[in-house]
């Protein structure tokens, strides 16, 4: 990442991941009644593939675009109101999430097999997103903790486990190139 050529390439890739994250909020894969939204899988992938620093840049640009009113958040919405709104905690939680995921995968990937290290790196990242999202939801809606967890965590856990597995394989395939 020292020379100029790599900087340009990483800039392009970081923007690509920001755009993928934004597109992930739009594209839902219809399997069964509940469609899967791909927003957070790309945040995790950005951490794994780009590393902590460029992953952070990618998520930063994504959130900056959202804050400026570009429709990049789930359901085709945007604006600073969405960041301050009830689900804003999940979005702001992406910032520490991508950094930690990138950091752990950078440290671990040389010691243990790639897929395993990917999975280990993504679990704390996902937990951070939930922590940030749930505590913000709690502040905004003023609900009890049990209710907040029932609305903001439990429905998504199975989906997220599947996403982590899928992302670890996808990161391996993309990383090879």
Partner 1 sequence: MGRLTLFSYKSSNSFLHNLDTRCKLIVLSFLSISILKADFTALIIITIIILGFLASEDIKLISLLKQIKYFILLLFFIFIARAVSTNGDSLFVLSWISFTKQGVIEGVRVCWKFFIIMVMGILFSCSTKPSYLKCAAQWFLRPIPFIPEKRISIMISLFLRFFPLILKQVNNVLDAQKTRCSELQKNPIKKIINVSLPVLKKIFQCADNLAISMEARCYSENRTEPEFIKSGQEKNVYIATIVLSSIMFAF
Residues that bind partner 1 (CB under 8 A): 5, 8-9, 11-16, 18-20, 22-23, 26-27, 29, 31-32, 57, 60-62, 64-65, 68-72, 75-82, 84-87, 140-144, 147, 151, 166, 170, 173-174, 177
Burial class (CB in 10 A: 0-12, 13-18, 19+), 5: exposed
Which residue number, 65 or 121, has a Cβ lying nearer to partner 1?
65
Cα–Cα distance between 134 and 148 in angstroms, integer?
7
SS (H, E, C) 149-166: HHHHCHHHHHHHHHHHHH
Whether the Cβ atoms of residue 16 and residue 46 lie closer than 8 Å to each other: no
Which residue number, 92 or 166, has a Cβ lying nearer to partner 1?
166
Query: Residue 111 CB, nearest distance to partner 1 (Å)?
Result: 27
Query: Residue 149 CB, nearest distance to partner 1 (Å)?
Result: 13
Which residue number, 28 or 124, has a Cβ lying nearer to partner 1?
28
Contact partners, residue 93, CB within 8 Å, separation at least 6: 128, 129, 130, 131, 132, 133
Which residue number, 112 or 162, has a Cβ lying nearer to partner 1?
162
């Amino acid at each position: 990442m020292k020379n100029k050529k790599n900087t340009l390439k990483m800039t392009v890739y970081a923007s690509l991941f920001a755009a993928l994250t934004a597109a992930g909020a739009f594209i839902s894969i219809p399997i069964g009644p509940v469609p899967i939204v791909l927003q957070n899988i790309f945040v995790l992938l950005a951490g794994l593939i780009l590393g902590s620093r460029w992953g952070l840049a990618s998520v930063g640009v994504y959130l900056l675009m959202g804050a400026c009113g570009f429709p990049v958040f789930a359901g085709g919405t945007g604006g600073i109101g969405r960041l301050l709104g009830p689900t804003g905690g999940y979005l702001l939680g992406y910032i520490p999430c991508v950094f930690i995921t990138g950091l752990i995968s950078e440290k671990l990937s040389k010691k243990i097999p790639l897929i395993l290290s990917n999975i280990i790196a993504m679990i704390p990242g996902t937990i951070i997103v939930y922590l940030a999202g749930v505590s913000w939801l709690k502040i905004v809606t003023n609900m009890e903790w049990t209710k907040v967890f029932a609305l903001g965590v439990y429905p998504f856990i199975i989906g997220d486990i599947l996403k982590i597995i899928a992302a670890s394989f996808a990161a391996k395939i993309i990383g090879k190139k």
